[in-house]
A and B are shown apart, each in its own frame.
Chain A
Amino acid sequence: MAIRSRTSFVASKATLGLSSVDTHAILVFSTTASYLSNLGQTAATSSHLMNAAGYEAWQPIYLTAGTYDRLGVYTTVAAVSTWRLGIDNNTTGFRPDTNLLDAGTVDMNAAAGLQQITISLTISADGWYWFRAKVDAYTASPTVMCVNGNSATPTQAVPVLGWPIANSGNAGRYAVGLNRQNASGTGSLPTAPTITGSPVTGLTYTEIGPKFYIRKAS
């Protein structure tokens, strides 16, 4: 079994809740038994901001209609922490909304590798969704494969047009996802807050976030 993805970039007017500008839709043409993942320059790091109970991360993903049977994250160094994985719906403004799937938790202190949960998820129509992870318990940060816009090289991340630069001090960096750094409770995945620009009061753009892996069953 190999983790592989097929991607194709096309220019189209995607309804992302943005102003009327041309946007590039990242389409993933998935095949059965293939793992899909959010795109971008990758880096295995423990500096993924998931360093306290309740902290969360979101990554956009375009899913084609069908059923999916595995959802996971990839560790390269284990640490005592538990992550709750899920998928949120997308809403106007290109942000996460209500929770579509709460897959449960993975033990991030298991032997390093792909940490996946068996799921039964049906996507009825092609569209944008949001990978989501929440720290349900924390002692130490595992090293996790992440997408990383934290570089002076502009091509390091796949930019989402309309998103701001995550760090105004470096014009070469890009936001690659959203995060929340608020001990907002554990054990469930409630509806995501709005983007406020503060990771404490709501969601904010971030230049690093976990890579997620989802397997298409059919």
Chain B
Amino acid sequence: MNINTHDGKGRIIATETIPDPDPYPPTDVERLAAVLVAKVDALTEADAAKALGVDEGRITAATAELAAEPGQTP
């Protein structure tokens, strides 16, 4: 939305644009999902290996298996 502030004598002295309110704001479930996705994306394989107490190579292999489509070879 534009907001034009006039000086009352025919000149515009300030202009600003503010975003229109979202008519479909995210639900709490959508917002939680976004937080969880961001947390997972930020997790490195090194972090996961350390947390599980295993070699990082096993995490790499497990990640590839998770990412593979059914029927594909990781």
Residues of chain A having any CB pair with chain B under 8 Å: 1-2, 70, 82, 103-107, 110-118
CB of B3 within 8 A of chain A?
A: yes
* Cβ-neighbour of A114 out of B4, B8, B21 (below 8 A): B4
Say how far B13's CB is from chain A's closest CB, in angstroms.
8
Assuming the A-B contacts A1-B18, A2-B21, are A116 and B3 also in contact, with contact meaning beta carbons closer than 8 angstroms in the complex?
yes
| A117 near B2: Cβ-Cβ < 8 Å | no
Binary A-proximity of B1-37 (CB < 8 A = 1, otherwise 0): 1111111111011010010010000000000000000
Residues of chain B having any CB pair with chain A under 8 Å: 1-10, 12-13, 15, 18, 21
Write 27 A-B pairs (CB below 8 A) sorted by A numbering: A2-B18, A70-B5, A82-B10, A103-B8, A104-B7, A104-B9, A105-B6, A105-B8, A105-B9, A105-B10, A106-B4, A106-B6, A107-B12, A110-B6, A111-B2, A111-B15, A113-B3, A113-B4, A114-B1, A114-B3, A114-B4, A116-B4, A117-B5, A117-B7, A118-B7, A118-B8, A118-B13
* Set of chain B residues within 8 Å of A107, measured between Cβ atoms: 6, 10, 12
Say how far A142's CB is from chain B's closest CB, in angstroms.
13
Assuming the A-B contacts A1-B18, A2-B21, A107-B12, are A117 and B6 also in contact, with contact meaning beta carbons closer than 8 angstroms in the complex?
yes
Q: How many A-B residue pairs lie within 8 Å, measured between CB atoms?
A: 50
Say how far A118's CB is from chain B's closest CB, in angstroms.
6
Q: Which residue of A lies closest to B14 (CB)?
A: A118
> CA–CA, A113 to B18, complex, Å?
10
Q: Which residue of A lies closest to B11 (CB)?
A: A107
* Set of chain B residues within 8 Å of A110, measured between Cβ atoms: 4, 6, 12
> CA–CA, A118 to B4, complex, Å?
10
Q: Which residue of A lies closest to B15 (CB)?
A: A111
| A113 near B5: Cβ-Cβ < 8 Å | no
Say how far A95's CB is from chain B's closest CB, in angstroms.
26
> CA–CA, A117 to B2, complex, Å?
14
| A104 near B6: Cβ-Cβ < 8 Å | yes
* Set of chain A residues within 8 Å of B18, measured between Cβ atoms: 1-2
> CA–CA, A118 to B9, complex, Å?
11
Say how far B2's CB is from chain A's closest CB, in angstroms.
3
Say how far B60's CB is from chain A's closest CB, in angstroms.
49
| A113 near B2: Cβ-Cβ < 8 Å | yes
* Set of chain B residues within 8 Å of A1, measured between Cβ atoms: 3, 18
> CA–CA, A105 to B12, complex, Å?
10
> CA–CA, A118 to B3, complex, Å?
12
Say how far A56's CB is from chain B's closest CB, in angstroms.
17
Say how far A26's CB is from chain B's closest CB, in angstroms.
25
| B6 near A116: Cβ-Cβ < 8 Å | yes
